[in-house]
A = this chain, B = another copy of it.
Amino acid sequence: MRADARDNRARIMTAADDVFGRSPGASTDDVARLAGVGIATVFRHFATKTELLEAVLTLRLERIRDRALELAGSDDPGTAFFEFFTQVVSESASKLAIAEALTAAGAAAGEEAREAGRGMREAFSGLLTAAQKAGAVRADAEMPEVYALLIGASRGATAAKLDPETRDRMLALIYDGLKPRG
């Protein structure tokens, strides 16, 4: 692959991440314009708009998964779990599309993105069970509902455009529900 082609591909990905992050309904032309390339170039690298969206989504999911895996090495599983949770939520609040990305991952996404979503959930599940073994999270909370909480908190924070203080107060309420009964 020629050097300029690789450059352009990277620029398109970055632009798409930015544009679709701001408004999911944006057009392919918008992406091309921001990337500073012609529209044909976008379609040469990504055969369809869906393919482009999937590539961006996959990248985001993998980034989140990597952070989870990184935190999994921590020697304080409780802190690791809550820190990850908080980080995902606050990132989604600033970057409007992350919540939608999470949804799309579970729902009708292509194989690549679905795989990335699976990896992310697995990493999160690992954090959860470790935190439970350490006694930081109640043992009767299971993955499906805890994951639902994560998505819900993310989407809620984004949709309601919460300021950081309110967001933290909301998270504090959620965490109190997740901690073992005193």
Contacts and interface: CB of A to CB of B under 8 A. Distances in A.
Contact of A25 (B102, B104, B107, B155): B104
Contacts of A166: 144-145, 148
Given A25-B104, A156-B152, A160-B147, A178 B169 contact: no
Contacts of A149: 156, 170, 173-174
A166 B177 CA distance: 15
A181 B178 contact: no
A103 to B, nearest CB: 4
A126 B162 CA distance: 21
Contacts of A155: 99, 151-152, 155-156, 159
SS class of chain A's interface: helix, strand, loop or mixed?
helix
A161 interface: yes
Given A173-B145, A181-B182, A182-B182, A159 B167 contact: no
A153 interface: yes
Contacts of A173: 141, 145-146, 149, 174, 177-178
Interface in A129-182: 141-142, 144-157, 159-162, 166-167, 169-170, 172-178, 181-182
Nearest to A159: B103
A102 B152 CA distance: 14
Given A104-B25, A182-B181, A182-B182, A170 B156 contact: no
